[in-house]
Structure 1
Amino acid sequence: MKQLKRITLDPNVMGGKPCIKGVRVTVGTIIGLLASGYSNAEILKMYPYLVEEDLKEALAYAAWRSEEIEVPLATA
């Protein structure tokens, strides 16, 4: 995964969920809106402080996370 410039993970912001840098909009919110059929233009109108690049990076982050494999730790 390339270095993310617009996505932050801070345990003190939105419970540590990945967010768009500087605002309290989660990647999950953006992906949920896109999955519900909202267009980029509609989302940017709802959240005028976001830019197109925020939406692209949220989508890239979600795609990367969907491919990530979580492996349970071995027990002693």
Structure 2
Amino acid sequence: MTETNRIVLDPAICHGKACVKGTRIPVSVILDELAAGHTFDEIVDQYPTLTRQDIVAAIQYASLLTKERVETLP
């Protein structure tokens, strides 16, 4: 099941960067945290408005981008 419905692109939020729905946390921040070696639990502790599903959604969104195709999110 895809979780990308948790990711939004809104020009009025974070200059249109992909963010977790209902937050101002960009997907790039989550990916940076993962790349730095932080666990899901550490990220959720640092950003309490996030859930594990939000982190999975960020990874899935990034995966879509690497497939070099355009996806329209609701």
Q: TM-score range by the shorter chain?
A: 0.7 to 0.9
CA-CA distance at 1:24 after TM superposition? 0.3
Counterpart mapping for 1:1-76 below 5 A:
4-68=4-68
Per-residue CA distance 1:4-52 (angstroms, 9 max, x = gap) = 3200000110010000001000000000110110110000000111111
- Which one scores higher on RCO, CA 8 angstroms, separation ≥ 6? 2
Q: Which has the larger radius of gyration?
A: 1
Q: Indicate conservation of the 8 Å contact 2:4/2:58, yes or no.
A: no
State, as a whole percentage, how many aligned pairs show the same letter: 38
* TM-score under structure 2 length normalisation: 0.86
Paired AA for residue 5 in structure 2: K
Q: Which runs of 5+ in 2 are unaligned?
A: none
User: Following superposition, which runs of at least 4 residues in structure 1 exceed 3 angstroms of deviation?
Assistant: none
Corresponding residue pairs, total? 69
Quote the RMSD (CA, aligned, Å).
Answer: 1.6
* TM-score under structure 1 length normalisation: 0.83
